[in-house]
């Protein structure tokens, strides 16, 4: 471990010459040293903070802007900070969607030489949305279902790699738009543990905790009058369990069939692909007389569509976005009658002639509103919508212009939403008038 830890140090205060601030990080960034580590995080001045932190957390968490990035800083004890940092790094290696761990800051002292808690630094996910923001932007019941779907996929993926979360909740998750769906990212791994495999008890407990937390969080939104009265909190919590169980069964369940039904092997793989998973290993066993075949996926990897799109175009996007882009690529191939050609060549042309021109046609100042792949997806939706109205196919450049004027301009900027739902007052904020935190309340929302 020691070899891959870059280290940067700074002397803190003349009074404590031997004590040094230490940053442990795989990707050290000297700009981190400019942050006011001598102050307790709760007292950091407004000018370094990006906005008010908003999850429900038992620790002090703040967001700062640094070199064009947004960093999340959490104050916790040193051993817990190193543990979580290590876990987040392992999860990254396992390709689990989560926040990027940047480092741990230890050896902090205030100006009087008193020790301060260690801090875990992670990079905030651009274009990610806290659930409170998602719920208040579009209070359709379908939104809740899509969030729960995304969380179920994340939880299944975590459980497949042997990660027991211990505190699954909407607060510990961030959501990114993923075409018509959302993709969920793990934010907090403090209570988690990586095992070789998880027992059924561990999975069920994690799931039960998730259900309780989600219902609690929704009840909290309801208590703050931020949730439509129609929303059934318990129903949404139950939906997570149903969705998770369904997906877990699809990914890991044993399927038996007669030996003359071998097409069912291909069908199972196709079904998993459709759910966004690749099958890395499938066990096939037959009984002694060979009349029954049993299959069970042993290794499945999420990201089936995003891997395929990446191979073809080099675009690195989320799975449902990739699915949407691949569909458009397929139509392009059909429309240009190039089905016989090398798919990579066709993909290259599609990128040059369709994707890039469309994204570039969006004025630069509006591109912060959505990720490029999400923009493209919404423009495709818009094309379908205006083509139907016009009664003929509207070309992409015209669609894009229409989309920018009629849709995008009126959308909120989502590159860095940190914070409360628009219009929500921070109930935990005991700010006095003139409190430095007052001003940057809506800085990004």
Q: Given the rule CB under 8 A, which residues bind other proteins? A: 56-58, 76-77, 79-80, 117, 164, 166-167, 169, 171, 190-191, 196-197, 199-202, 204-205, 208-209, 211-213, 215-217, 219-221, 223-224, 226, 234, 237, 426-430
413's tokens: 């900027």
Quote the tokens at residue 234: 């318990």
DSSP sequence for 363-390: -GGGGGGS-HHHHHHHHHHHHHHHHHHH
Q: How far apart are CA 129 and CA 376, in angstroms?
A: 19
The bridge status of strand 49-51 relative to strand 118-123 is unpaired
Minimum CB distance to other proteins, residue 216 (Å): 5
Which tokens sit at 252? Answer: 């890991």
Q: Which is nearer to other proteins, 219 or 404 (CB)?
A: 219
- State the minimum distance, in angstroms, from the CB of residue 428 to other proteins: 5
Nearer to other proteins, 67 or 225 (CB): 225
Residue closer to other proteins, measured from CB, 205 or 441 = 205
**Judged by CB, which is closer to other proteins: 316, or 425?**
425
Structure tokens at 135: 């719920």
Instruction: Quote the least distance from Cβ 206 to other proteins, whole Å.
Output: 9
CB of 376 to other proteins, least distance (A): 37
List all residues 6 or more positions away from 98 whose beta carbon is below 8 Å from its beta carbon. 88, 91, 92, 185, 186, 187, 189
Shorter beta-carbon distance to other proteins: residue 206 or 378: 206
Nearer to other proteins, 110 or 167 (CB): 167
CB 4 within 8 A of CB 26: yes
Closest CA to 224 of 157, 311, 135: 135
Query: In whole angstroms, how close is the CB of 170 to other proteins at the nearest point?
Result: 11
* Least Cβ distance, residue 422 to other proteins (angstroms): 16
End-to-end CA distance of the chain: 39
The Cα-based distances of 72 to 102, 161, 303, 338, 347 in angstroms read 10, 26, 26, 47, 37
> In the bound complex, what is the minimum distance in angstroms from residue 200's beta carbon to other proteins?
8
164 close to 190: Cβ distance less than 8 angstroms: no
Q: How far is the CB of 82 from other proteins (least distance, A)?
A: 13
Whole-number Å distance between alpha carbons of 54 and 441: 10
The residue (of 84 and 319) whose beta carbon lies closer to other proteins is 84
Are 412 and 444 contacting, i.e. CB atoms less than 8 angstroms apart? Answer: no
The least CB distance from residue 418 to other proteins, in Å, is: 16
Nearer to other proteins, 188 or 371 (CB): 188
- For other proteins, the closer CB: 235 or 280: 235
Strand partners for 10:
21
Structure tokens belonging to residue 207: 């799931």
| CA–CA dist 129, 187 (Å, integer) | 12
């Amino acid at each position: 471990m020691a070899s891959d830890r870059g280290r940067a140090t700074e002397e803190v205060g003349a009074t404590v010459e031997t004590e040094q601030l230490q940053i442990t990080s795989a990707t050290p960034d000297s700009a981190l040293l400019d942050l006011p580590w001598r102050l307790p995080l709760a007292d950091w001045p407004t000018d370094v903070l990006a906005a008010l932190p908003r999850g429900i957390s038992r620790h002090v968490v703040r967001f700062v802007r640094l070199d064009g990035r947004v960093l999340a800083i959490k104050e916790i004890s040193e051993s817990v900070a190193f543990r979580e940092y290590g876990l987040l790094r392992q999860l990254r290696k396992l390709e689990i969607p989560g926040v990027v761990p940047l480092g741990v800051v230890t050896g902090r002292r205030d100006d009087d030489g008193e020790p301060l808690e260690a801090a875990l630094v992670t990079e905030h996910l651009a274009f990610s949305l806290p659930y409170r923001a998602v719920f208040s932007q579009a209070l359709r019941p379908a939104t809740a279902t899509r969030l729960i779907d995304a969380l179920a996929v994340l939880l299944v993926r975590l459980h497949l790699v042997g990660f027991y979360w211990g505190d699954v909740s909407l607060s510990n998750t961030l959501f990114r738009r993923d075409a018509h769906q959302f993709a969920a990212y793990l934010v907090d791994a403090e209570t988690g543990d990586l095992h070789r495999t998880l027992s059924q008890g561990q999975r069920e407990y994690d799931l039960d905790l998730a259900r309780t937390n989600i219902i609690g969080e929704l009840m909290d939104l309801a208590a703050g009058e931020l949730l439509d009265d129609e929303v059934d909190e318990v129903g949404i919590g139950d939906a997570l369990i149903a969705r998770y169980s369904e997906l877990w069964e699809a990914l890991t369940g044993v399927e038996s069939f007669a030996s003359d039904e071998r097409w069912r092997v291909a069908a199972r793989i196709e079904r998993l692909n459709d759910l966004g998973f690749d099958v890395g290993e499938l066990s096939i066993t037959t009984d002694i007389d060979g009349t029954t075949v049993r299959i069970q996926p042993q290794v499945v990897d999420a990201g089936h569509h995003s891997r395929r799109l990446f191979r073809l175009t080099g675009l690195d996007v989320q799975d449902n976005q990739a699915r949407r882009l691949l569909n458009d690529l397929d139509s392009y191939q059909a429309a240009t009658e190039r089905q016989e050609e090398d798919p990579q060549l066709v993909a290259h042309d599609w990128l040059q002639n369709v994707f890039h021109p469309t994204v570039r046609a969006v004025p630069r100042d509006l591109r912060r509103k959505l990720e490029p792949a999400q923009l493209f997806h919404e423009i495709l939706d818009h094309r379908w919508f205006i083509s139907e109205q016009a009664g003929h196919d509207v070309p992409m450049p015209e669609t894009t212009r229409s989309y920018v004027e009629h849709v995008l301009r009126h959308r909120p900027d989502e590159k860095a939403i940190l914070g409360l739902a628009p219009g929500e007052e921070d109930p935990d904020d005991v700010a006095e008038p003139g409190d430095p935190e007052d001003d940057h309340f809506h800085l990004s929302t």
